[in-house]
Structure 1
Amino acid sequence: MLKGNFFRGLGYLGEGFRLIRQPGLRLFVVIPLVINILLFGVLFFFLGELFAGLVAAAMAWLPDWTWLQSLDWLFWILYGAVILLMLAYGFVIVANLIGSPFYGYLAELTEKHLTGQEVNTDDSWASIIKDIPRALWREVQKILYYLPRAIGLLIIGLIPVVNLVAAVLWFLFNSWMMALQYVDYPADNHKVSFPALRRLLGDTRLSAFGFGLPVALAAMVPVLNLFVVPAAVCGATAYWVREKGATRN
């Protein structure tokens, strides 16, 4: 039986957007935001031709059946949605690789703001720099978890008719991955391993899907996806503070 509260999960991203406006958190929102703007500019330059090429390649797999050809427009929309989801999460992966040391500290400051308790007494810039290798390895673990599952869903999405289900599975998978991606920051601050985090989120799976769904959708929207990353970090920290406590009840 699925546990958690889907609608409660939906509210955490909105709370994250409110939290990033707090004076004590703004610096660690602005720095990675500037990095993300530069990164987004480069990715946007190559996005058009890559998108068109991927859709054309996927459509070429369709057999020349009359009733399937009449649904070309539907398959184009489905393939386009899947590819857009892949590109959205790809942007998140690269942005998080670059900004992960800042996001870990942003999660720490957010938790202190929410609970009034210190998470880590060493808050110097030297500590942030020292944590870069560990933070990058944490991101690599998430990529290694994501890639084989994404490839499997991509293969399913190339099968006519079955790809109707694949699009739904992609939305569910990306919602789950967004929850894993961002709740990992406060979890890492508490030395919780990535496998242990997956089990913890599994205990409140409905809340995780509720949190991850709007993050996944926002990541697909140009310009908004620049701001959703720090907001998701703050929202995920609120998720950690409240949902982790709920798993003990």
Structure 2
Amino acid sequence: MRDLGAGLGYLVRGQRWVLEHGRAFGFGLFPGLITLVLYAAALVALAMYGDDFTTWATPFADHWSSPWGGLFRGFLAAVLFALALLLAVLTFTAVTLLVGQPFYDSLSERVDRSVSPDGSAPQSSRPLWRDLWISARDSLRVVVRAALWGVLLFALGFVPFVGQTVVPVLGFFVTGFFLAEELTAVALERRGVELRERLALLRARKTLAWGFGTPLAVAFLVPFVAVFLMPGAVAGATLMARDLLDEDTATETAEDDGDSHENDHAQTAGSSRAG
């Protein structure tokens, strides 16, 4: 239970960090907004043309007596849209991180520097194109895993009582785990930690991953909320990644110390000019 609270604590600390660093928060919004527009357009198109698609896909229902053909196709259209919505929630983070990798890598490095005792941040030795390829490949693997879980849970949702009570709760925890993996990947990939090792780290501390990712899974059901929480989620996941690897964390941020030195220098220079 302690890890469950610690995971939530990292999420809160991450949101606080980006609010205290307004420029990082502003830049971190762009990838989420781009992904939101793309997903919204796809879902609107599905809502508009879903009936046409189900009609095309079920020619055998053309000869069914009324109203059974219409009811069957309407049910299929509703199931198709619900499944698309579930997959959108499961994949939103992975796609946003892929679209905004340069933004989030920079943000994650700033977080690392701000809490590192020596003010340093691990950096990838690979070229950018290689990092992008590895990120896309690993994101696809995670999305496939998440999609398989999503389809399984969606099917179990039709089981009476269990599908309406237990399955939704399981769905949030499964989604939360994969969200934690996708978000910590930003910091862990810079450290050369491969996907298999990342999954092993999180499986060893599932409650930490659930405490961080499950509240996000609930919040991400609201698209605009997902956009505004993404920068802080990346920041919090960076802090959690340091915990997973047992890295030392300073009590005072290096960036804040640097800002203080700059302010002191500016004040001293101002006093000299006044004198």
What is the TM-score when the length of structure 1 is the normalising length?
A: 0.73
**Change in CA separation of 1:146 and 1:137 when aligned onto 2, cut-off 3 Å:** same
Q: Cα distance, 1:10 vs. partner?
A: 0.9
**Change in CA separation of 1:50 and 1:175 when aligned onto 2, cut-off 3 Å:** farther
- Contact 1:16–1:235 (8 Å) recurs in 2: yes
- Contact 2:29–2:228 (8 Å) recurs in 1: no
Q: Partner residue of 1:238?
A: 239
How far apart, in 2, do the equivalents of 1:95 and 1:114 lie? 25
How far apart, in 2, do the equivalents of 1:209 and 1:98 lie? 25
Amino acid corresponding to residue 204 of structure 1 in structure 2: R
**Change in CA separation of 1:30 and 1:159 when aligned onto 2, cut-off 3 Å:** closer
How far apart, in 2, do the equivalents of 1:148 and 1:57 lie? 25
How far apart, in 2, do the equivalents of 1:4 and 1:41 lie? 38
- Contact 1:20–1:26 (8 Å) recurs in 2: yes
| Deviation by residue 1:55-110 (Cα, 9 ceiling, x = unmatched) | x879959xxxxxxxxxxxxxx9xxx9987554322333332332234323432332
Q: Does 1:146 align with 2:146?
A: yes
- Contact 2:124–2:192 (8 Å) recurs in 1: no
Q: Does 1:118 align with 2:117?
A: no
Q: Which is worse superposed, 87-96 or 138-147?
A: 87-96
How far apart, in 1, do the equivalents of 2:72 and 2:110 lie? 46
The 5 Å alignment of 1:51-130 reads: 85-115=86-116, 116-120=119-123, 127-129=127-129
Q: Does 1:229 align with 2:223?
A: no
Gaps of 5+ in 2: 55-70, 248-275
Q: Cα distance, 1:131 vs. partner?
A: 2.5
How far apart, in 1, do the equivalents of 2:174 and 2:199 lie? 13
Q: Which is worse superposed, 226-235 or 83-92?
A: 83-92
- Contact 2:25–2:232 (8 Å) recurs in 1: no
**Change in CA separation of 1:20 and 1:127 when aligned onto 2, cut-off 3 Å:** farther
Partner of 1:5: helix, strand, or coil?
helix
**Change in CA separation of 1:153 and 1:225 when aligned onto 2, cut-off 3 Å:** same
- Contact 1:100–1:136 (8 Å) recurs in 2: no
**Change in CA separation of 1:152 and 1:59 when aligned onto 2, cut-off 3 Å:** farther
Partner of 1:209: helix, strand, or coil?
helix
Q: Cα distance, 1:145 vs. partner?
A: 2.2
The 5 Å alignment of 1:197-236 reads: 197-236=198-237
| Deviation by residue 1:106-159 (Cα, 9 ceiling, x = unmatched) | 32332122212221277xxx9545532222112112112222222222222233
Partner of 1:223: helix, strand, or coil?
helix
Aligned length: 224
Gaps of 5+ in 1: 62-75
Amino acid corresponding to residue 7 of structure 2 in structure 1: G
Matching residue within 9, 25, 29 for 1:11: 9
Q: Cα distance, 1:190 vs. partner?
A: 0.9
How far apart, in 2, do the equivalents of 1:26 and 1:171 lie? 26
| Deviation by residue 1:156-192 (Cα, 9 ceiling, x = unmatched) | 2233333132222111111111111111211111111
**Change in CA separation of 1:30 and 1:178 when aligned onto 2, cut-off 3 Å:** closer
How far apart, in 2, do the equivalents of 1:171 and 1:208 lie? 12
How far apart, in 1, do the equivalents of 2:2 and 2:205 lie? 4
Q: Does 1:187 align with 2:188?
A: yes
**Change in CA separation of 1:47 and 1:89 when aligned onto 2, cut-off 3 Å:** farther
Q: Partner residue of 2:157?
A: 157
How far apart, in 2, do the equivalents of 1:121 and 1:139 lie? 18
